Every structure is written in structure tokens, then in C-alpha cells.
Amino acid sequence: MKAVVYKGPRSIAVDQVDDAKIEHPCDVLVRITTTNICGSDLHMYEGRTSFETGRVFGHENLGQVIEVGPAVSKVKVGEYVVLPFNVACGFCKNCERQLSNYCLTMQPNPKFAGAAYGFADMGPYQGGQAELLRVPYGDYNCLRLGEDAAEKQTDYVMLADIFPTGWHATEMAEVYPGDSVVIYGAGPVGLMAAYSATLKSAGRVMVVDRHPDRLKLAESIGAIPIDYSQADPVQQVLDLTMGLGADAGCECVGYQAHDPSGEEHGEMTLNNLIASVRFTGRIGVVGVYVPQDPGAKDELAKQGKFPLDYGLMWFKGQKMGTGQCPVKKYNRALRDLVAAGKAKPSFVVSHEIALDEAPTAYENFDKREDGWTKVAMHPST
Ligand code: NAD
Ligand code: ZN
């Protein structure tokens, strides 16, 4: 089968690799019809993780079931399914508590928890930027779609990751109707957080970034764009909230946060959130941070350490939630919003391409080229 293979920093190729196949009685085999490039792929693409060369990318996957293992009882051949990026068992201590993001069974490293397709440090599972994908524990991991699946693929594929992840940011930030919410990052995840806040009837939703195309998309869903390259974003949020700060904040950038000149300061958005969220406000951090980052310029950042304004955070009585999204906790409800026509997360998609065009798409998305907000690839139809 054809697949997007990692060759080294900023180098990928669409190669022939061994076909994915059923390896365990509970597996499901899916022919991938839509798979996205994610901001998380870029950390690996840039060589800023331990992702091994030769591995296949892709954790935002949707497709049609072509084979099921003998122990699969719910999922049927021919159905369209969307797969949470988390690979989980469904029966461990964490999965039982809806924490499929920290599954203890599927992560082979006993010092870690949680697994994902085509991801650094998240187990051996190949990604779905390929013609075929093996889905372990298929009955648990597949979310089945209805008759509108093929036609609404670019909406439903967002249930694999960014729509639930944006929603999760607003859950950790405890967004209530009427709340003012500030979101750092107008990439696909930040846009989904802004969209989720809007679906939850937030009052004022403010989105911080410096890319005009991304800020324009935020504005298109009713959010207030804040360009941090023009003026201090914290002051802009304070000015919009009578000096109090926002009720809730979402971090959707991660450890490669940078100033307008492009210099990285991993702690920048965290400290901006602490400063621009009110006393007793809540903060949800879904942007990725890593325990080691040998590619960082800064000595502390190399060890995954960031100078956090913890004194101010404590003094303000703020609460912060962190980590990967437990996609299964939300994907069914969000699917039903899409099915009912109440949510259309595909508004972030800027490019739909064939798998062969992956190298150019990665390059453009990595450079945040104007107009490259989200790429959906179609390995098969
Ligand atoms: P992206 O890289 O396309 O978007 C990040 C955006 O942040 C960019 O538009 C960039 O201009 C902006 N940015 C950079 N520095 C900033 C700053 N100082 N202030 C404000 N904005 C700034 O990526 P994405 O796909 O939107 O993903 C965002 C983050 O979420 C990544 O770290 C990704 O790995 C992570 N992620 C986490 C989960 C999870 O489960 N927790 C799931 C998916 C993605
Ligand atoms: Zn993703």
C-alpha cells in the first residue's frame, strides 16, 4: 500500500510499504478515504520528537471497513467509521474512567500511558496517511457513521482529533454560557476551541494569533481576532474585559510557541493565559508540551522545563487542565451535532488533495503559508 513515510527532519515520501492487516481477533481493517495533516504531525515532521524514520504518519483517520477480526461483533464490513487518534483498549483502569487518552494497555512503555496512530512515544501503531489502517479493539475504537458519511467526510474526519480536542480545551476551561473566553492559537485546534466555545453559548470569544488568514477564519465564526504581532495580546484581552481578564482560557499552540520574530518561548502562551484570565478563572491546555526537547535552543526547554508564572497563577486562584484529548468522551455527541446539521467543523479545511501530494502539503502547512489552514487527504475514494 501507499503511505506517507517519515525520512528525517522536514523530509517525507509517499512510499510503498507492507499492507496493514488484521493481526489480532479484535482488529478492524479500514480503507482510508480521508486523513488529515495535524499540527501535531509538524512537531514530528520538523524532527522535534523521537519519531523514528520509516514510520507512517496519520492519526486523523476516516474510512470504510473492509475486514473484521473473528472477535469483532459490532462493526460491520462496508460501514464508514471515524477513528479517535487515541488507540485504547476500553477495559483498563483509565479507559473505564473515560480516560482513553491515557490507556494503560496499548502503551508498551511502562513509564508512559496513552497510545496513538503514527505518533512519537505513543506506541508502535502505524498511521493512517495510507491506503489501509489496522484498528486495534475495533468495536471500542470505531465510531460508526450514518448514511451521510461519504458526503460529509471532511466534517466527520474532524471527530478523529481536532473537534473533540478543541471541545476538550473548553471542557477543561469549564466554559459556561455567557463566559468570555480567550484562545491562544488560531490553528485548526484553536479554531475548533473557538467553535466549541460558541456552540456552548459563550459570550465573547477572543482568538490570538498573528496569521491574518487564520484570524479571518476565527472572525468568520463570530470570534474577536487579536493579532499578537501588532500589540500585547494580554492588554488587548484586558481592554475587552473591563480590565478583569477572561473567564476562561484555552492554550492551543504548545511548546513551539514563538514571538512575532519567530523566536521560540515555550512558556509564552501559558504566561499570557495566566495574565489574561481573571482571578479564579480556568485554563485548558491542549497545545502539546514534551518532557524532553533536544531540538530546543534553550537549556531548560531541552529538558521540557518552562519558567511558569506560578506565583501569579496561584495568587489568582486559577485552575489549569492539561494533556491529550480523550476523544471517545466526546466524539459520539459531536458526531450527532454534525449529523443534525448543528455543527460544520469542515470550515477549517483549506485543501483537499491526493496522498501523492503530501510532501508539498506538509511543506506549506509547516510554513503556515497563507491560506494553508487544514489539509485533508484522500488516499482512496
Ligand atoms: P498549528 O501549528 O497549525 O497552529 C498553531 C498556531 O499557534 C499557529 O497558527 C501559530 O501562528 C500560533 N502561535 C504560535 N505562537 C503563538 C503565540 N505566542 N501566541 C498566539 N498564537 C501563537 O497547530 P494545530 O493543528 O492548531 O495544533 C495546535 C497544538 O495542539 C499543537 O501543539 C498540536 O500538537 C496540539 N494538539 C494537541 C492535541 C491534544 O489532544 N492535546 C490534539 C491535536 C493537536
Ligand atoms: Zn491531530
Atom number, ligand 1, closest to the C-alpha of residue 285: 41
- The residue out of 290, 322, 354 marking a domain boundary is 322
Contacts of 137 by beta carbon, 8 Å cutoff, 6+ apart: 26, 27, 88, 89, 90
State residue 381's pLDDT score.
84
Q: Whose CA is nearest to atom 27 of ligand 1?
A: 39
Q: What is the pTM of this model?
A: 0.98
Candidate from 40, 85, 365 with most ligand 1 atoms within 8 A of CB, to mutate: 40
Ligand 1 center from residue 109 Cα (angstroms): 26
Same-domain check for residues 144 and 171 = no
Q: Whose CA is nearest to atom 36 of ligand 1?
A: 287
Per-residue model confidence as pLDDT tens for the chain (381 residues): 999 999 999 999 999 999 999 999 999 999 999 999 999 999 999 999 999 999 999 999 999 999 999 999 999 999 999 999 999 999 999 999 999 999 999 999 999 999 999 999 999 999 999 999 999 999 999 999 999 999 999 999 999 999 999 999 999 999 999 999 999 999 999 999 999 999 999 999 999 999 999 999 999 999 999 999 999 999 999 999 999 999 999 999 999 999 999 999 999 999 999 999 999 999 999 999 999 998 898 999 999 999 999 999 999 999 999 999 999 999 999 999 999 999 999 999 999 999 999 999 999 999 999 999 999 999 998
Specify the CATH number for the domain of residue 310: 3.40.50.720
Give the model's pLDDT for residue 75.
98
Looking at residue 295, its pLDDT comes to: 87
The answer to whether 347 and 310 have CB atoms below 8 angstroms apart is no
Do residues 251 and 156 touch, judged by C-beta distance below 8 A?
no
| Lookup result for grid cell 466555545 | 197
Ligand 1, CB within 6 Å, residue ranges:
38-40, 42-43, 161-162, 165, 184-190, 208-211, 214, 228, 252-254, 257-258, 268-269, 286-288, 324-325, 368
Query: What's the confidence (pLDDT) of residue 190?
Result: 98
Could you tell me the distance, in angstroms and rounded to a whole number, from the CA of residue 68 to the centre of ligand 1?
35
Neighbours of ion ligand 2 (CB under 5 A): 38, 40, 161
Q: How many domains does the chain have?
A: 2
356 and 296 both lie in a single domain = no
DSSP per residue over 175-238, as a string?
A: --TT--EEEE--SHHHHHHHHHHHHTT-S-EEEEES-HHHHHHHHHTTPEEEETTTS-HHHHHH
Q: Which atom of ligand 1 is nearest to the CA of 373?
A: 3
* 183 and 117 within one domain: no
Domain end position, chosen among 322, 345, 365: 322
- Same domain as 309, residue 333: no
Q: Are residues 76 and 119 in the same domain?
A: yes
Instruction: Please indicate, yes or no, whether residues 194 and 292 belong to a single structural domain of this protein.
Output: yes
Judgement on whether residues 65 and 189 belong to the same structural domain of the protein: no
Q: What is the pLDDT of residue 180?
A: 98
Q: Same structural domain for residues 318 and 336? A: no
Give me the domain span that covers residue 182: 163-322
* Closest residue by Cα to residue 165 from 56, 34, 325: 325
Q: Give the model's pLDDT for residue 203.
A: 98
Q: Where does a domain end: 283, 298, 322?
A: 322
Residues 262 and 371 in one domain: no
Q: Are residues 371 and 261 in the same domain?
A: no
Closest CA to ligand 1's atom 31:
287
268 in the same domain as 231? yes
Residues 314 and 341 in one domain: no
CA of 111 to the centre of ligand 1 (A): 26
Sign of CA dihedral 337, 342, 343, 344: positive
CATH of the domain at 143: 3.90.180.10
